[in-house]
Amino acid sequence: MDNLIRIPETQATHADGDDLEEALVPLEHLRHFREDALPDDIPEAFREVVHPRPRPWRQQRWVLFLSLFSLGVLAFGFGVGLNLVPQRLNPTGAAASSARPANATGGNNEQPGAASPAADTLLGHLAYAEAPADSLKAITEDGSLKLRAAAADKFLAMQADARAAGVELVPLSAYRSLQDQEHLFFDVKAARGQNPTERAEVSAPPGHSEHHTGYAIDIGDGAQPDTNLQFSFADTAAFQWLQENAAYYSFELSFPKDNPQGVAYEPWHWRFVGDRDSLETFYKAHQLRQAAATNPQ
């Protein structure tokens, strides 16, 4: 028995062809067995080989493509939506501005002396309403010249300070009614043989004069009356004093050189812009005129 070895049944066969669970084999017969058939080894035919399953790359590519395409569609739709929302809220800037009330102070009531909401112009002059009679205050001893109360007080203070500085500011014209303006425009035009365009360069048509508002005043130099309502007034001490000091009393030159209205230079014509109503009266009129020129009907 020392020269025998037991082998598994898978490596031994009975002489009759029946498989045995184990058999005794002489040692010398071991040379007939392969080295890899020893009991410690697993026959190659019985090894379980795991082959990796191929990944479905084509299917993954389709999924990736569809995902990217969907994201692109969503991004495009979002961008279009952002562009459309402002247009829905405000289709045109002009429409939005036209929806706003002309009176920025609220409500539909116009302030006395305010410009026409349509900002209509005639021969380069803006439209203005007449000041109420009870809002006027005299600035001369005889009461012939009047301004709105706030403007009158400031002018009288300015006149007194100028007098203290040796300059005599003389009021030549202040508030004018429509009737007064009709005379100045039509009667003087006829007397001078002027056409409407020529007359409008130095005098506004009725309903379009700043003097209607009770805030405008024509000023002369008491020391040089010959310069009254003349371009030469710009060379007087009164004009120089006004240029340096009028703003302290809330007066400004209405028609400087090269003014946008195209009205002739009038160094004697000044207007008060020292309270809310006066400021809105003149500056709203100019803004409406500019808007009408930019967006003609």
Token code pair at residue 13: 């066969």
Contacts of 122 by beta carbon, 8 Å cutoff, 6+ apart: 200, 205, 207, 208
In terms of residues, how long is the chain?
A: 297
171 Cβ contact partners less than 8 Å away, ≥ 6 residues apart: 139, 140, 145, 155, 159, 217, 218, 219, 220
Of the candidates 198, 210, 252, 266, the residue annotated as catalytic is 266
* CA angle (268 as vertex; 265, 272 as ends), nearest 5: 105
Rounded to 5°, the CA angle 156-287-210 comes to 35
Under a CB-based contact definition with an 8 Å cutoff, are residues 129 and 277 in contact? no
DSSP letter assigned to residue 204: P
Residue at token pair 């371009």 = 231
Q: Which residues pair with 271 in a beta bridge?
A: 216, 252
d(C-alpha 137, C-alpha 288), whole Å: 29
Question: In angstroms, rounded to a whole number, what is the distance separating the alpha carbons of residues 33 and 203?
Answer: 135
**Cβ proximity of 288 and 119 under 8 Å:** yes
Active site residue 48: no
- Rounded CA-CA distance 227/230 in Å is 5
Active-site annotation, residues: 266
